[in-house]
Amino acid sequence: MLKMGNYLKYISFILRELNGSLGDIGVLFPIVIGLSKLGININIVLFLVGLAYVLNGIIYKVPVSVQPMKGISSVVLSVKLNPMVVPFSSIIISLILIILNKFRIFSKFRLDDSFIRGIQFGVGILLVIAAFNLLNINFSDFSSFNFLELLFFVLILVLGLLSNWQIPAILVLLITGVILSFSSFNDFHFGLVSFSKLTLYFNQVYLGIVNNFFEILLISLIIVIIQLPITIANAIYASSKTINDLYNLKVSESKLSFTCSTYNLFIGLLGGVPVCHGSGGITAHFVSGGRTFLTPIFIGSICIFISLLNNIDTLVMNFPDLILSILIFFVGFKHMLFIFKLRQKEQYLAALLTSFAFVIISLNVKNVFYLFKI
C-alpha cells in the first residue's frame, strides 16, 4: 500500500506530465481549427495527430511534439487554397523525406541559418495575414471595419504581449471559444462520430483530387518546396539537437525523418494535415513540465477522445473567428521572433530578403499555377 508521501508524489508526477502535454496546444489547435474551417475534417485530423503523439511516446520515450506543418498551413490559410492540397502535400513531402533519408542526405548537408530564419519569419507574416483575413478587414475600405472587434483584438494582443502570453492564457481563450461555440446552437449532442460522415469526407477528398489533379499537384509541389527547408532544419536537425540538450538523449536525424515521413504518408492517404516534430513544440512540452513518455500519450489520448465525438466539426465551424484570429496571430508572431536567434548582423539582410521572396511567392501561388497552365 502506498504511503501518503509516495501517493502525493505520484499524483504530482501525473499532474506535471498532464500539464506538460498541454504545452503545445497554442500551436496545434488554432492551426487545426483554421484548416478545418476551410473544409478539412477535424475528426480525422485530431485522430491522426493523437495517434502520432501516442506512437511518439512509445518510440522516443520523451515528449516529442506533433505539430501541423506551419509552412503549408500558413500558405493555405492566408491564400485560402483548395483544402485538398493539404493531404496531397502530406504524401508528397513524405515521399521526398523517404528519398532524402535513403541517400543519407541529412548527414551530409546543413542549411544556412539566415535562410531558415527568413523562411520562419515569412511563415509568421503569412499567419498574421491569415489572422486579419479571419476578421474580414479590408484596409482599403475604411467603412468595412468592425471597430468593436478590432478594439477587442488589439486589447487582447496588448494584454497577451505584456503578460508574456503563457499557455494558461491560450487555454482560457480556447475554452472561451468552445463555450461561445456551444452557445450558438441548441441541437448539439454528444455521441460517437458516424462512419458515414467520415466515408463522405474520404469521397470528397479523392474526388476533389481526381477532378482537379493538375492544379492540386502543382500547388502542392509549390507549398512543399516552401515547407521542406523548415521541416529539414526545424523538425529534423533542430529537434535532434533539442532532444539531446533537454533530455540528454541522442536521437538521430534519420530516425526523426523516418517517423515524420511515415506519419505523413498515412496522414495524407487518410485526408489529414501534414505534421512534423517541431523543436519549438518539444521545448514547449519540456517547459510545461513534460519529462516522460506519458506527456505525448496524454495529449495523444485527449486528441483521439475528441476526434471520436460527433458534431465536433459543427462546433469548429461555430468557433468565433475573432478568437481564432487572435490565436493564429500569436502563433505567427511567435514564429516571427525566431529571426532574432541569428547571431551575425549580416545574416539579417539575407533572412529578410528570403522572407520577402517567400511571402510574395506564397501569396501568388495561385497565379504561379495559372502561368504553368497557360
Residue 9 lies in a domain: no
Length of the chain: 374
DSSP string, 192-226: BPPHHHHHHHHHHHHHHHHHTHHHHHHHHHHHHHH
Supply the range of the domain harboring residue 360.
Answer: 17-373
Residue 132 lies in a domain: yes
Report pTM: 0.84
Q: Are 11 and 285 in contact (CB under 8 A)?
A: no
Cβ-Cβ contacts under 8 Å for 198 (sequence gap 6 or more): 41, 43, 44
Q: Give per-residue pLDDT as tens, 68-122.
A: 998 899 889 988 888 999 999 999 999 999 999 888 777 677 777 888 788 888 8
The predicted structure's pLDDT at residue 146: 56
- Of the candidates 94, 65, 30, the one whose C-alpha atom is nearest the C-alpha of residue 281 is 65
Residue 1 lies in a domain: no
Q: How many domains does the chain have?
A: 1
Residue 295 lies in a domain: yes
Residue 274 lies in a domain: yes
Residue 3 lies in a domain: no
pLDDT tens string for the chain (374 positions)?
A: 556 667 778 888 898 898 888 888 878 988 999 999 999 999 999 999 999 999 999 999 999 999 999 889 988 998 888 899 999 999 999 999 999 988 877 767 777 788 878 888 888 888 888 888 877 655 555 455 555 555 666 666 555 555 544 445 666 777 777 777 877 666 666 677 878 888 889 888 999 888 889 889 988 998 998 888 888 888 888 888 889 888 999 999 899 999 999 999 999 999 999 999 988 888 888 878 899 999 999 999 999 999 988 888 888 888 888 778 877 887 788 778 888 888 888 889 988 998 898 888 888 776 665 555 54
